[in-house]
Amino acid sequence: MSRIVTLPESGTLLAATDLHGHLADFRALIGHFGADTYLVICGDLVHGPSLAEKDWPDYLGDFYVDETKQLLAEAYELQQRFPGRVHYLMGNHEHAHVGGRHVGKFHPDEAAALESLYAPGEFEPLREWIAGWPRIAIAPRAGIVLTHAAPHGMSDDELLWARTTTPERAYALLDAVHPGARVSVFGHDPIREGHIVEHEPLLCISTSFACHDGDKVFLRWDLATPAADAQTVARHGLQRLHPDAPCCYRSDKLE
């Protein structure tokens, strides 16, 4: 499969990041998936914390139980039901299952810990599926490029691990994948307020992991509407995943 997926020039983009096994958040996000919607989850669907609620630190947001195995099953089924409309980008945690760099956030070996939950050979079809996930999604008319990590360069180390980059490096990547692109949307680095525009063209969003429910956001954007800049996309495109939950760190009240 290509490293880049190109979205259509009309319809609605639904973009999210870093679920890390949070099944309830995945289901809440899918509740916004409707006719003419194109879903892009920017990597790290897998590998959640393995901590008891009594040991849960505030920096991990609201407590949840890692349900990566069921989340992957439902994510696969959703993509099969809506071919061409559901896209999962490779994250550094998925990459660990297909030959990528070791990750050990909550287990000594996150990939081995997840695969141990499956019967011998049962994970292999999932490994093959994950291996085909693209690294980049482009919304050409909107001028938005989506990746897992910051747009620092085109290598896997950069696309899957970079936490930030300079404006020059970011615009160079945008221009390389789609001349005229103006906004980079990514995750990877948890933002407890839900999003940050460090500088143009970077919009880093946090949909789930390490956030309290009231601070989690996703992006909804008309694919036919050109995005002026990251600040505009944040102001007009971000929505709270759980609008009834109280904000903990957000300074605004997105609806």
Residue 172 is assigned to a structural domain of this protein: yes
Alpha-carbon radius of gyration of the chain: 17
Q: What is the pLDDT of residues 41-88, one digit of tens each?
A: 999 999 999 999 999 999 999 999 999 999 999 999 999 999 999 999
Mean pLDDT, residues 133-161: 98
Residue 33 is assigned to a structural domain of this protein: yes
> How many domains does the chain divide into?
1
201: CATH: 3.60.21.10
* DSSP state string for 136-149: EEEETTTTEEE-SS
Residue 248 is assigned to a structural domain of this protein: no
* DSSP state string for 149-180: S--S-SSHHHHHH-----HHHHHHHHHHHSTT
Mean pLDDT, residues 127-156: 98
Residue 91 is assigned to a structural domain of this protein: yes
